[in-house]
Chain A
Amino acid sequence: MSNITPHPQPDALGHFGTYGGMFVPETLMAALTELAAEYERAKQDPLFKEELDFMLREYVGRPTPLTFAERWSEELGGARIYLKREDLLHTGAHKINNAMGQILLAKRLGKDRIIAETGAGQHGVATATVCARFGFKCVIYMGEVDMERQALNVARMRFLGAEVCAVTAGQRTLKEAVNEAMRDWVTNVGTTHYILGSALGSHPYPMMVRDFQRVIGEEARRQILEREQRLPDYLVACVGGGSNAIGLFHPFLDDKSVKMLGVEAGGRGIRRGEHAARFEGGKLGVLQGTKTWLLADDDGQIELTHSVSAGLDYAAVGPEHAFLKDIGRTEYSYATDAEALEAFQEVSLIEGIIPALETAHGLAGVRKLAPELGKDGLIICNFSGRGDKDVAQAAKAIFGEDVFG
């Protein structure tokens, strides 16, 4: 292919090159087509943008700071590191950028019931929050294993009036929660909008979620030019489905000098069932509506995954990442559980900011990269969320203590 621009819009069926698409049961085709059409109309509507901008500013807390991590940069002895502080948003992670965009869209669609999947619980909390704010019924699907390791977020969702449904199938984590949400949607498609939480699934989600997260990169680009009078050498972000990463990367795609690194979950190491690094141990396939890199066995059965971080513990990666990797625009590496926990501790101690375990994977990527780039280097890392939800798990891993008895 010769005429690839660095960041094409996907085609009408949502293909990024050969990735993406609409691989869904027929019952969802009408709803997805309606959603794609309404999203296109909303994009053209100045009132939609005005309301979204207003809510992002007055309710969500945008813009977020771009914090210079002075002591950490010094400690690592290399590049200057800036953190894009999505952890400071209402509800504590970037997920609410997308949830807010989609709830305004649901209003336009005239649906009164919202469903969502969640892994770490951050997307569930963000969705429950916007549902409370706009008066929608809200049902959140969450794997039983994740409900246990992110118990704090389960309680938050319940305070916010959401019904949290435990998913007990398979390995009881994010993938199964998506399956269950899709089954609910197939059944209640007339009344319900599905707020998918990452740049994943069938068209139009990967494009739409990306667009709602682009605000991260737009702000960061403006802020770094103000602070440093130049563009960064590297952008770094953790990659679960890929929404915080694509949100940071996308506005920089035309800036040829800016490199981009996505960090996947290496779990206990790259062995079958022990990790969630799709670009490392995966292959091409189709899952939950999209064609992309995923972890599957020789028979095409989806493999088990593992990560200390629930939000990265997922078998497929967003299709636009697969495309950007193919054309050489982005790179991917992975951080193991242990490396993420080290970064979690280091940044907490040195910068006084406790990251989410997902975010800690991106930080682990920075720990390796910063010394390599040297003193002249400049990095922006997406600080996608705060670590409150992970306190119990991290305390167990780091101090060997059960903080909540």
Chain B
Amino acid sequence: MQNRIEQMFEKLRTEKKAAFIAYVCSGDPDTERSLEVMHALARAGVDLIETGVPFSDPVADGIANQMAASRALNSGASVKKTLATIKRFREKSEIPIVLFTYLNPIYSYGFKRFHEDAAAAGADGILNLDLPPDEEEINEELLQANMLLNIRIIAPNTPAERIAKIVKSGAGFIYYISREGVTGERSELASGISRQVTDIKSHTSLPVVVGFGISTPEHSAAVAGMADGVVVGSAIVNTVAKHSLSADLADRVYNFVKPLVDATKSV
């Protein structure tokens, strides 16, 4: 059976459209409202949700995602609760889900058990920010876990030989980080995205999506013209933060994300 991620990209390929991918931190601002936010993203038409597993020391994240993780942890978030929330989301939606995580919480949960439980809850892929394929390949413990698709990351400074190696063990799609830096909103798009995406595509037939620093409908439309998908994270997380105390949080998120989705689909 094909994974939800693969089905989604196949459908978009025939429609000649780019995917819109939304990142939110699980448990932000709390479990219930984080589920509402996921449903709001579904209503707005996102093609895939990246769910952040909150971690105390997120070294690859800028201030927006750091604060989201800390709000989530303060409200009692845990790996178990993240999986339980995905399970509840799955009762109503078939939108593919990728877990965006650091290694330690997963390692502590048990890598293999995490893959099994996450897949059973309805997650489709995993993107491990501090687990390069080099480490995974030589680690028995990590290799046994294969229930989720391994989403691989490529950075602007990843050398060509390394790109060729990384994409081999990837599945679902390749995530191209468009700039050297941590996650966060930026006013301008990074340069060289189009060339880099073409480069990566010369090594793989997997779809290539672009993230880090994309925050506006204009950015989204521009990137949709160069890649198979657009990832927006911090800008959505900031919207959650701004309205985390409002009763209409879900509507606020919907109103922010809908134009991003529309812009992505306008290309």
A21 to B158, CA, bound (A): 19
CB of A25 closer than 8 Å to a CB of B: yes
CB of B78 closer than 8 Å to a CB of A: yes
Q: How many residues of B contact A (CB 8 A)?
A: 40
Q: Given that A29-B162, A179-B57 are contacting pairs, would A286 and B107 also be in contact in the complex, using a CB cutoff of 8 Å?
A: yes
Q: A286: which B residues are within 8 A, CB to CB?
A: 103-104, 107, 130
Q: Which of A219-227, A266-274, A298-306, A349-357 contacts B (4 or more CB under 8 A)?
A: A298-306
Are the C-beta atoms of A26 and B108 separated by less than 8 Å? no
Q: Which residue of B lies closest to A298 (CB)?
A: B108
Say which residue of B103, B162, B181 sits within 8 Å of A23 (CB atoms): B103
Q: Given that A30-B157, A285-B107 are contacting pairs, would A22 and B181 also be in contact in the complex, using a CB cutoff of 8 Å?
A: no
Judged by DSSP, the binding face of A is mixed
Are the C-beta atoms of B57 and A299 separated by less than 8 Å? no
Are the C-beta atoms of B181 and A299 separated by less than 8 Å? no
Give the residues from 280 to 336 in chain A that come closer than 8 angstroms, CB to CB, to chain B.
283-289, 296, 298-302
A99 CB, min distance to chain B CBs, angstroms: 22
A211 CB, min distance to chain B CBs, angstroms: 22
Are the C-beta atoms of B134 and A26 separated by less than 8 Å? no
Are the C-beta atoms of A27 and B59 separated by less than 8 Å? no
Q: Given that A23-B132, A25-B129 are contacting pairs, would A300 and B104 also be in contact in the complex, using a CB cutoff of 8 Å?
A: yes
Q: Which residue of A lies closest to B141 (CB)?
A: A18
Q: Given that A287-B104, A296-B104 are contacting pairs, would A175 and B130 also be in contact in the complex, using a CB cutoff of 8 Å?
A: no
A296 to B154, CA, bound (A): 29
Q: How many residues of A contact B (CB 8 A)?
A: 35
Are the C-beta atoms of B182 and A183 separated by less than 8 Å? yes
Q: Which of A57-65, A185-193, A377-385, A388-396 contacts B (4 or more CB under 8 A)?
A: A185-193
Q: A188: which B residues are within 8 A, CB to CB?
A: 180
Give the residues from 162 to 179 in chain A that come closer than 8 angstroms, CB to CB, to chain B.
169-170, 175, 179
Say which residue of A29, A187, A298 sits within 8 Å of B182 (CB atoms): A187
Can you report 24 A-B residue pairs in the complex whose CB atoms are below 8 A from each other? A13-B134, A13-B135, A21-B135, A22-B134, A25-B59, A26-B153, A27-B157, A29-B162, A30-B162, A170-B57, A183-B60, A189-B180, A285-B104, A289-B130, A296-B104, A299-B78, A299-B79, A299-B108, A300-B79, A300-B104, A300-B107, A300-B109, A301-B56, A302-B57
Judged by DSSP, the binding face of B is loop
CB of B73 closer than 8 Å to a CB of A: yes
CB of A24 closer than 8 Å to a CB of B: yes
CB of A199 closer than 8 Å to a CB of B: no
Q: A100: which B residues are within 8 A, CB to CB?
A: none
Given contacts A23-B103, A300-B107, A302-B104, 8 further A-B contacts (CB under 8 A): A27-B181, A29-B134, A179-B59, A186-B180, A187-B180, A289-B130, A296-B108, A301-B105
Interface string of B224-244 (1 = CB under 8 A from A): 000000000000000000000
